[in-house]
């Protein structure tokens, strides 16, 4: 799923690390990402290399999927400028470049100079990203920032202290045409997104995706969490550092995209893999009018049934023509 130039640049940057050394770091980082939020996890050059090897393909896949859904919700949006906050090695830059070729001015804010170093090295292989400005700064609500049409924060808001997150989200929204925040698809990641969504709505932005409405989220905390999934192929290196044998993995993510002006929205969003049985498709929906609903589409419904069979978790419902 990674763009070819990024995959090649990544392989080249990681060639000096032995896969079994990276694998040991990956095991430690996986545990630390799983158990601890509100702090940064990458502390050495080996941590950064391991992150790029095993997480960047997955965060790229999540970002490009979330951005694709945001772009579908705002078809006229053709941003010229992008600010990516907590940009790490640049997964969201690459994803935004693949989604909106109109981007010409790209700025990254990242506090770790070694991470910036690797991100810059990777970006050099892309004509569209080689001119990006990488700014070393620690994000806080008072930090000066360039104006940008598109502002993103991918897998980074949850690393900030909880007390700062609402203010940082308002800071992201200032003068932006679209804001996208992405977090891991865990109950904790979803809770971070739910807070971000609330801050964006209170700021006066309109929720473009995934929600079909701007009102309170109908999902009860502790009972369920709103998340989506993307399947990505694992490269040979990825398989070695992850000690995995499968040729793919499923990345679960939660996200919110908000726009300064209202965008046309799907009437509902599919919240689970549709259950497909002979002659029946069952859809778990978040609807604009009735909260959460389970809908059965039967073969007798002809064209709607055929469309339901092609519908995937995360799609809008009913499908656009």
Ligand X SMILES: C[S@@+](CC[C@H](N)C(=O)[O-])C[C@H]1O[C@@H](n2cnc3c(N)ncnc32)[C@H](O)[C@@H]1O
Instruction: Give the interface segment with ligand X, choosing from 15-23, 153-161, 172-180, 206-214 (CB under 6 A).
Output: 153-161
Beta carbons of 196 and 225 less than 8 angstroms apart: no
Q: At what angle do helices 162-173 and 187-203 cross, to 10 degrees?
A: 50
Residues 70-129, interacting with ligand X (CB under 6 A): 86-88, 91-92, 109-112, 115
168 Rama sector, left if φ>0, alpha if ψ -120 to 50, beta otherwise: alpha
The residue (of 61 and 173) whose beta carbon lies closer to ligand X is 61
Is residue 59 close enough to count as binding ligand X by CB under 6 A? yes
The residue (of 155 and 203) whose beta carbon lies closer to ligand X is 155
The residue (of 38 and 291) whose beta carbon lies closer to ligand X is 38
The residue (of 141 and 288) whose beta carbon lies closer to ligand X is 141
Is residue 40 close enough to count as binding ligand X by CB under 6 A? yes
Is residue 133 close enough to count as binding ligand X by CB under 6 A? no
* Chain-centre distance for alpha carbon 43: 23
Is residue 47 close enough to count as binding ligand X by CB under 6 A? no
Q: Give the number of residues in contact with ligand X, rule: CB under 6 A.
A: 21
Is residue 159 close enough to count as binding ligand X by CB under 6 A? yes
181 token code pair? 């925040």
Is residue 192 close enough to count as binding ligand X by CB under 6 A? no
Q: Which of 167, 176, 179 is nearest to 141 (CA)?
A: 167
3-state secondary structure 89-150: CCHHHHHHHHHCCCCCEEEEEECCHHHHHHHHHHHCCCCCCCCCEEEECCCCCCCCCCCCCE
Residues near ligand X (CB under 6 A) are: 40, 42, 56, 59, 86-88, 91-92, 109-112, 115, 138-139, 154-156, 159-160
């Amino acid at each position: 799923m990674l763009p070819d130039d990024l995959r090649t640049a990544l392989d080249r940057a990681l060639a000096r690390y032995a896969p079994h050394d990276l694998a040991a770091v990956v095991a430690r980082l996986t545990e630390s990402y799983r158990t601890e939020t509100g702090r940064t996890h990458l502390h050495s050059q080996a941590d950064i290399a391991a992150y790029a090897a095993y997480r960047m393909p997955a965060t790229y896949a999540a970002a490009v999927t979330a951005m694709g859904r945001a772009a579908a919700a705002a078809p006229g949006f053709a941003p010229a400028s992008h600010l990516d906050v907590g940009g790490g090695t640049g997964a969201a830059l690459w994803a935004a470049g693949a989604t909106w070729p109109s981007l010409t001015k790209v700025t990254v804010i990242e506090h770790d100079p070694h991470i910036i170093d690797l991100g810059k090295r990777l970006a050099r292989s892309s004509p569209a990203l080689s001119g990006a400005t990488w700014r070393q700064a620690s994000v806080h609500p008072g930090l000066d920032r360039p104006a940008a049409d598109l502002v993103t924060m991918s897998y980074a808001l949850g690393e900030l202290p909880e007390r700062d997150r609402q203010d940082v989200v308002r800071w992201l929204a200032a003068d932006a045409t679209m804001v996208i925040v992405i977090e891991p698809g865990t109950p904790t990641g979803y809770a971070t997104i739910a807070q971000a969504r609330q801050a964006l709505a209170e700021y006066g932005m309109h929720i473009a995706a995934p929600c079909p409405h701007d009102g309170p989220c109908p999902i009860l905390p502790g009972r369920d969490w709103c998340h989506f999934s993307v399947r990505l192929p694992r490269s040979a290196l990825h398989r070695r550092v992850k000690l995995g044998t499968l040729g793919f993995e499923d990345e679960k993510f939660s996200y919110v995209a908000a726009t300064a002006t209202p965008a046309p929205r799907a009437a509902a969003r599919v919240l689970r893999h549709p259950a497909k049985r002979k002659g029946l498709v069952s859809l778990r929906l978040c609807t604009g009018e009735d909260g959460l609903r389970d809908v059965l589409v039967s073969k007798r419904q002809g064209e709607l049934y055929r469309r339901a069979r092609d519908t995937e978790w995360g799609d809008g419902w009913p499908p656009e023509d």
